[in-house]
Structure 1
Amino acid sequence: MKLTIVGCSGSFPGPSSPASCYLLTANDGERDWRILLDLGSGALGILQRYMHLSDIDGVLLSHLHPDHCMDLTGLQVAVHWDPNGWPAGRVPVWGPEATARRLAIALDMEPAGDLHQDFEFHRWVPGETVEFGPFRFSVHVARHPIAEAYAMRIEAVEPQADGTTARRVLAYSGDTDSCPGLLDAARGADMFLCEAAYHEGRDDAIDGVHLTGRRAGQAASDAGAKRLLLTHLPVWNDANRTVAEAQQTYAGPISVAVAGVHYLV
């Protein structure tokens, strides 16, 4: 399973990265499947460096803050208004219950049901496993100030040249503070893609919104994750400080996500 960092800037696009968007690619033995974890502000343009938009197999939304979902509006335009015709079917989208309504408001579109011409909406059910091509994914309730926020657990099973199969697990925090659902998503993951938007000492008075590097490291340690990839750092954060915080609580490999970088999970 390959992870491509399309965008990783926290809360809004930065000078070197869009907001949150992560491309996962896995092969089922016949073709590559591509799913997006979030599609935040500024991500749609950069995404086209790596793939044709009609090759999106599905979009998984962690929650409905703009820095995680707003470029779904641009994708709707691409699907609906391509003068050459959209060469694929409706795009499957998994997200909170209000996803279609949120998108309709952003597009000033009435009725919201018209969006079902372009998207196939699925509401998340926490703990329920969805099988989709080579992927199996589920969500777990996160702690963030919005009606529904989720951490994700994505598993890919890919056939190998020697006739065996490889099973890999990526966990993605979405936006969250420390909570049991985050640990459930990350348990034993090969890679834990985890937000760390706050700094110790600077943001101590804020509860239930974001993690610090230290709390992200503690979650990775408690969950037994094999690698920690820190993400969602706002432009005013110091990445070196974030890593140093995470090293206080996690002894495994730590990296910071950078837009345009590919990782093998």
Structure 2
Amino acid sequence: MTKSFDRSRALELLNFILLLAGAALVLLPLAAVFLVSLSPSGVGVKVTGWTFANYQEAWRRGNFLLAFVNSTLVAIAVTGFQVITSALAGYALARLKFRGRQALILAVLATLVIPFQLLVIPIFLVLKWGHLLNTYGALILPTAANGFGIFLLRQYFMTIPVELEEAAMLDGANRWQVLWQVMLPLARPALVTLFLFTFIGEWNDLFKPLVFTTRPELRTVQLALAEFQEQFTSSWPLLMAAVVIGTLPVVLLFLAGQRQFMRGIATTGIKN
């Protein structure tokens, strides 16, 4: 009994050490970025006098206000489209019986292995044909639907007992009412997970604004950071302050939704 207890304590200690090491690998670079952003000289992470003036200077020189507005609009629009389309398609593929359903599921899975870069030329041509280049549409429409979201919500819907839908239908609800009043409230963890994945992905996206837009008034946070880096390569405090400014919104968003996010990841695909 004592040997078993000692072995269990040793395994717990080992797990704790491994988790602590993993956390250090993630947090130490972030801490270094933050410390350098507070440095008046930027020689290293050793700060002799902390100052937040770098943030004010980076915000002013980088003109981040417009970039924040653009990134927020694009991220919210894309996230909204993806949540709606993924919920509708995911529910249809999880519950409705129709000819070709398995083929559609395989097609959705196939889109997950195709890099977005391979689709750039046809997407560019379609946007050009539709006169959407250098518009918000060029930043929103190419990722308005996503196979990952459809598959995620389909798997989550399949974990919900079908008896709940049958009970709602016995009370007079139709399919549309079942989806909006029963399934979606129960799928909130998966919806929050998809929201976070999509919003953070769009916020961090540099590829679309770089390829599909050239107008300065359409630049996003990531494009503004890239331009800022070119201008202030030698000024590490300003550069790190700009990085913190560009990263802070998604960090706060993740912290706000992390409980639902972890629940959605843990329960997706587990049949009740």
TM over 0.5: no
TM-score range, shorter-chain basis? Answer: under 0.3
Bigger Rg, structure 1 or 2? 2
- Which structure's residues are more often strand, by fraction? 1
TM-score, length of structure 2 as denominator length: 0.21
- Which structure's residues are more often helix, by fraction? 2
The structure with higher relative contact order (CA 8 Å, sep 6+) is 2
